[in-house]
Amino acid sequence: MREYYDRLHELVSAGQAAWQVTIVQTEGSTPAKAGMKMLIPAQGNEVGNLGGGELEHSVIAWVRSEQPEKPLLRSYDLSAGGDKALPSGTLSTEMICGGKVQLFVEPLFSTKLLQIIGAGHCGRALAHLAGLCSFQTRLIDNRAEILDRIPTEICSDKRLSDFSSLEGVVSFSPTALIVIMTHGHVHDQHVLELCLDKPFAYLGMIGSQKKVQSTFDRLLKKGHTPGQLDRVTAPIGLPIGSQTPYEIAVSILAQIISLNS
C-alpha cells in the first residue's frame, strides 16, 4: 500500500483531480472485498484494486467520464442483471459472480477551480489566497519568465498562452470562475471578448470604473450585446478600499465566495 499512499499524497499535494473508490460492503459471491481501494486520477494510471473485471473497468470509466464533485455511494449487481428488476439505485452488470457490491466514491480535490488570467503581483496574490481557501487555482500568462518564477506552493497549474486563443487553456463550464487581470488593457479586452459567449459562473475583470466603461463601449461598437456585458463583474472585487496585491485579492475572493455560496 505504500505506492498507493505515496501516489495519493503526490496528487493531493499538487492539487490534481483524483478520486478514491473504496469497497464498503459486499454480499454473496464477488471478487471485490470490503476495504479494497483504488485511486483514479483524471490523468495517468490508476493505483489499487477493486477486484478486476467488468466492475473495475466500469467504475474507472464512469469516474473519468462523470468526474463527480461530491462523495457518493454506488451499488452494483454482479449477477448478469440484464433487464431484470433491480433495487432503486443499483446498477446492473454482465458479471456472473452472483453477488452485490457497494462503493464509496470520494473526490480528493477541491472542485472550485479559479482561473486567473494574468500572473502579475495581484494574480499571484489571488492564487495564493485562493489556495489557502481550498480553491484549485490556475495561473495563465503570456510571459514564460513570470510563470517560471512562481513557486508550486503558490500555484502548480501554470499555463503559457499568447492570448490569441483560450482553447485548451481556460476550462469553460457553467461553474467556471474566471478572473481577468493581465498586464495590459488591450490584453484584458481581447481576453474578455474571447470569454463573452462561453459558459461561466463568474467572469470578472480588474480595472477602474473609467477603464471598464471604455472597454465595454469598444466591445459594444464591435457588435457585442449589453446582455453579454451584463454577465461580467467589473470593476472586480468588493469596495473595501484595497490597495496592495493581497488586499485586492481579499476583495476579489470575498466577492467570488459571496456570489457562489
- List domains and CATH numbers for the chain: 2-107 (no CATH), 113-259 (3.40.50.720)
Mean pLDDT of 239-243: 92
Residue 66 has a pLDDT of: 86
Mean pLDDT of 9-17: 78
pLDDT digits (tens, 9 = 90+) for 202-219: 999 999 999 999 999 999
**Percent over 70 (pLDDT), the chain:** 91
Residue 85 has a pLDDT of: 45
Mean pLDDT of 146-167: 91
Helix axes 209-221, 185-195, angle to 10 degrees: 50
Residue 82 burial by Cβ neighbours in a 10 Å radius (0-12, 13-18, 19+): exposed
Across 41-78, b (16+ Cβ under 10 Å) vs e yields beeeebbbebbebebbebbbebbeeeeeeeeeebbbbb
Residue 140 has a pLDDT of: 96
Residue 216 has a pLDDT of: 95
**Is residue 194 over pLDDT 70?**
yes
259, 202 in Cβ contact below 8 A?
A: yes
* 44 Rama class: left (phi>0) / alpha (psi -120 to 50) / beta: left
pLDDT digits (tens, 9 = 90+) for 72-99: 999 888 776 554 544 444 555 554 566 8
Residue 81 has a pLDDT of: 56
* Structure-block grid coordinates of residue 239: 469596495
Mean pLDDT of 46-51: 91
Mean pLDDT of 149-178: 89
Which of the four pLDDT bands, split at 50, 70 and 90, describes residue 15? low
